[in-house]
Chain A
């Protein structure tokens, strides 16, 4: 029966290197259509910048990729699986930390939570988990604050810790939602240098509204305003920005 069916119909072979494959994905909250037939393929090893205006659907698209929402139409696969099943292979850095800053927890223990789900049946974290935390904190240059309470960090330190929490599960795909929205420009540059290094071993998708800044780091930019407006490896020029933001934005392009 099974073999008969597979003889009848040959499924289109997905390119083996697709980390994210969105085919005509749409999403609506009630009657409000937030995403309209978005088709996008992200290949292994890419560093994709997802830009667009506020309320342009960037965060919604991320939630679809993370399996926190389901598309109302279209097909979405992440790492060759439905998003919910691929979750444990994704590292995620949210725009705002969802936790209370006065929560009694140290940096190291917060990062340990990124190891949940790797061996969910164990009652305690293993020495391997703790070693992974050390490695991740080393990678984001935050080893020295490992024992510090999470409430006593600066904005830049907190962003590094959130990044370490995402890295500690050794993800194949790293997703960051406006990772530098709340920190100053110098640290923003340091974080993107770090991402560029990480890109050597993982695919990265970073959401930003600062198209000019990220174009110096990413390998490709996708612009989202309800639907995919541009999709290019080229320099972003004025026409695209006009199309994306609806009006001419001046002085946004400066070279890096």
Chain B
């Protein structure tokens, strides 16, 4: 750890990595709670994996892979959303198909592009140390889009996440907002690809939100807490991985995962403690003379 902070003062690429992690945390903190409460983790996973098709095409036709990823993610989100809203097809089958076909198409394009095979690993598992400065700007822009949409339509998004039927009866344009929500999840996936790669995205999207959900009773609080936790995991993972020269992305995920399980255990213990205390209080009432009515 100390080594990491020493290196921070010397290498600007570490600062860029740190900032990339923080920017990605904002996205996963904002959208992760929706993925968790709406139970669309599998759907988000499908979007994340199908993104490889866009990145493969981008390297083949020589344009920015992140732009390719963004287009593929949005197309995948709209496709899955359309199937769920308007089609008779089974949603989970469609997601599974899109998941695998997206990856297959991406790998075919990368295989046909000479000299790009090495990119595949960083697409799949991220390479936070190689985030170029201009991509930080792109990430900040995506964060701003997410934050603005959520601020403007927070009530409506929460209503759609909570109870679609009731929201529809209150005149909320449910289908439009549901598709918008999926597109925003797609944007978040793209935000995180540089940091942890498309395979590990799903963990960073859901784990901070799931931990936050254990301790909060509003979606807004869940977002704030998930963002802070995401920042802790990305920065902490980066710092932990530096000295032993581990890959940063997987270190972040292991950190997030073990925190999640500790949080579950802690919550369970807390509940047992509370039950124990209330039982003890009842027994004390029994023992105290005069408070207990004879049967």
Report which A residues bind B (CB closer than 8 A): 66, 68, 87-88, 90, 92, 94, 97-100, 102-106, 109-110, 113-114, 116-117, 120, 123-125, 149, 165, 169
Contacts and interface: CB of A to CB of B under 8 A. Distances in A.
B275 to A, nearest CB: 14
A98 B155 CA distance: 18
Contacts of B218: 104-106, 109
Given A116-B171, A125-B155, A92 B166 contact: yes
Interface string B214-244: 0011110110000000000000000000000
A123 B149 CA distance: 11
Interface string B141-178: 00000000001101110110111111111111000000
In the A-B complex, the 5 residue pairs with the smallest Cβ-Cβ separation, listed nearest first, are A117-B171, A116-B170, A117-B170, A149-B217, A99-B163
A120 B164 CA distance: 16
A124 B171 CA distance: 16
Contact of B162 (A90, A92, A99, A124): A99
A125 B163 CA distance: 18
Nearest to B155: A116
B166 A165 contact: yes
B39 interface: yes
B158 to A, nearest CB: 8
B171 A104 contact: no
A110 B162 contact: yes
A88 B171 CA distance: 7
Contacts of A97: 163
Given A105-B162, A105-B218, A116-B159, 14 more contacts: A92-B166, A94-B165, A98-B163, A98-B164, A98-B166, A104-B33, A104-B213, A104-B219, A106-B217, A114-B170, A116-B172, A117-B171, A125-B155, A149-B217
A90 to B, nearest CB: 7
Interface residues of B, number: 29
B171 A120 contact: yes
B37 A100 contact: yes
Chain B interface main SS type: helix
Contacts of B166: 92, 94, 98, 113, 165
A98 B162 CA distance: 8
Contacts of A120: 171-172
B57 to A, nearest CB: 38
Contacts of A110: 162
A124 to B, nearest CB: 7
Given A110-B162, A116-B172, A123 B219 contact: no
Contacts of B216: 104
A114 B222 CA distance: 22
12 contacts: A87-B169, A87-B171, A90-B169, A94-B166, A103-B161, A104-B37, A105-B217, A110-B162, A116-B159, A116-B167, A116-B170, A149-B217
Nearest to A123: B152
Nearest to B209: A104
B165 A68 contact: yes
B91 to A, nearest CB: 17
A149 B151 CA distance: 23
A98 B217 CA distance: 18
Contacts of B37: 100, 102-104
B271 to A, nearest CB: 12
A94 B172 CA distance: 17
A125 to B, nearest CB: 7
Contacts of B170: 87-88, 113-114, 116-117, 169
A125 B156 CA distance: 11
B165 A103 contact: no
Interface in B187-227: 213, 216-219, 221-222
Nearest to B222: A104
A199 to B, nearest CB: 21
A34 B160 CA distance: 29
B39 A100 contact: yes
A105 B169 CA distance: 20
Contacts of B167: 113, 116
Contacts of B221: 104
Contacts of B172: 116-117, 120
A149 to B, nearest CB: 4
